[in-house]
Amino acid sequence: MSSTPQGPGSRPGDRSARQAKIDAAAPKPSKAKPILIALVSIVAVLGVVAAVWFGTRGSQTDPAAAAPKGATGATGGIAVTTNAKAGAPTLDVYEDFQCPACMQAEAAVGPTIRKMAADGEAKVVYHMKSFLDANLGNDSSTRAALAASCSADAGRFQQFHDAVFAANTPEGQGYTDAQLETFATQSGVTGDALNTWKSCYSTKKYADYVKGVEETTAKAGVTGTPTFRVNGKDMDLSKVNDAAGFRAAVLAGGAASPTS
């Protein structure tokens, strides 16, 4: 290894003093919470993948396809708020069940979103995207979305959704059919409802719906996950430092501002 040349009369102590001054003048690390800030970069990368994938495929959606319970339309998201207060903003959540950034987002703000939905502070609508299947070379995003749709029919969409992300499955590992059934039972789908769920899942009852959600959301400009929209406007996660700031941004209609 070579050493740094020293000028005439320079001593190790002199170099240390100079370096200390340089270090003192260097920019200080941001105090912002790392999870939400990191999501901005991850979403940007995933957005490129989604845009390329969607641009290479044609629409195959049956406009008359069945939609699961709670869906806001034939290719709309699944609404989980049942008692929204007057004037409550609409929070659209776009996620892919194989998305690692979505997993991070759920850990950071998932409980806040669930509480806002339960309290009627926001009309929360989940849109299950599936573009990562093409990137990861499997069909787990689609099958998980199918399983979630069948769980919605049993009134357990939110619980199934939460069980999938709580499993913390590594990206690319995917889900077996048995795992998805386990998530269903963990979410409270049991007895006759589980038999109905199995039939729904095995026959791919909502295959066209799942395809339609991906196509519709991509056409609407959602090319990365997670994406959060409040009253149709993208939230700027770079301005949200924590869960309290996220809630404040939603209530403000997406006009996020930093929190301390």
CATH of domain 33-57+76-251: 3.40.30.10
Q: How does residue 17 score in pLDDT terms, banded at 50, 70 and 90?
A: low
Residue 209 clears pLDDT 60, i.e. is over it: yes
- Mean of all residue pLDDT scores within the chain: 82
Residue 15 clears pLDDT 70, i.e. is over it: no
Q: Are 110 and 36 in contact (CB under 8 A)?
A: no
Q: What is the pLDDT of residue 253?
A: 84
Q: What is the pLDDT of residue 34?
A: 47
pLDDT tens digit string along 73-99? 999 999 999 999 999 999 999 999 999
- For 130-193, the DSSP string reads -THHHHHTSSHHHHHHHHHHHHHHTT-HHHHHHHHHHT-PPTTT---HHHHHHHHHHTT--HHH
More confidently predicted of 251 and 6 = 251
Cα 98 to Cα 69, 136, 188, distances in angstroms: 23, 9, 22
Q: Which residue type sits at 64?
A: A
Give the global pTM: 0.77
Strand partners, 90: 123
Residue 56 clears pLDDT 50, i.e. is over it: no
pLDDT tens digit string along 118-139? 999 999 999 999 999 999 999 9
Residue 218 DSSP SS3: helix
- Kindly report whether the peptide bond that precedes residue 5 is cis, defined as omega within 30 degrees of 0: no
pLDDT tens digit string along 155-164? 999 999 999 9
More confidently predicted of 22 and 196 = 196
Residue 48 clears pLDDT 60, i.e. is over it: no
Residue 44 clears pLDDT 50, i.e. is over it: no
Domain ranges, ordered by start, for the chain = 33-57+76-251
Q: How does residue 254 score in pLDDT terms, banded at 50, 70 and 90?
A: low
**What's the number of CA atoms in the CB half-sphere (13 Å) around residue 212?**
20
